[in-house]
């Protein structure tokens, strides 16, 4: 009888411990989810600022003007990094009356770290070129 009571108490103790562990795991997962949601929300509402800063940086780095047909921010295809797709990117030669473009790409994907973009650090991690 005493053994049965000890087993029941041990079983109750194990259940309480499992509930505490489940509660903490749930809180940690909820916290991470909330943090990522806040980061994506910030990036979404500041995407024009980010696009303008990156385009300005490209124009500063090249001796010629770069024209971009469209810019889209993609949060999920390269997660946990953020991709920015520049569509129909063209740069002319930096000489008078150029015979052809310096380059023309259907798309350029520029990848950044989420936290870097939030901090205003536009350091490129990876470049991928599409049809150029």
Beta partners for residue 67, in sequence order: 90
pLDDT of residue 95: 64
Average pLDDT value for the chain: 78
| DSSP string for residues in 57-109 | HHHHHSSS-EEEEEEEEESSTTTTEEEEEEEEEEEE-SSSS-SSEEEEEEEEE
pLDDT of residue 74: 79
Write the pLDDT tens digit of every residue in 16-30.
888 999 999 999 999
Q: Which tops the pLDDT comparison, 85 or 59?
A: 85
pLDDT of residue 97: 63
pTM: 0.56
What are the structure tokens assigned to 43, written together?
């990036």
Other Cβ atoms closer than 10 A to 89: 23
The region of weakest confidence among 18-22, 77-81, 105-109 is 77-81
pLDDT of residue 55: 73
pLDDT of residue 96: 65
Backbone φ and ψ for 91, nearest 5 degrees, come out as -135, 130
């Amino acid at each position: 009888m005493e053994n049965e009571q000890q087993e029941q108490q041990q079983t109750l103790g194990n259940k309480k411990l499992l509930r505490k562990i489940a509660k903490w795991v749930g809180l940690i997962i909820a916290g991470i989810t909330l943090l990522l949601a806040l980061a994506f929300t910030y990036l979404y509402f500041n995407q024009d600022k980010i696009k303008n800063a990156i385009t300005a940086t490209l124009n500063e780095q090249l001796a010629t003007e770069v024209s971009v047909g469209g810019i889209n921010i993609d949060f999920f295809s390269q997660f946990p990094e953020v991709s920015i797709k520049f569509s129909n990117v063209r740069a002319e030669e930096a000489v008078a009356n150029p015979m052809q473009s310096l380059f023309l790409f259907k798309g350029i994907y520029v990848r950044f770290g989420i936290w870097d973009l939030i901090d205003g650090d536009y350091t490129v991690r990876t470049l991928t070129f599409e049809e150029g």
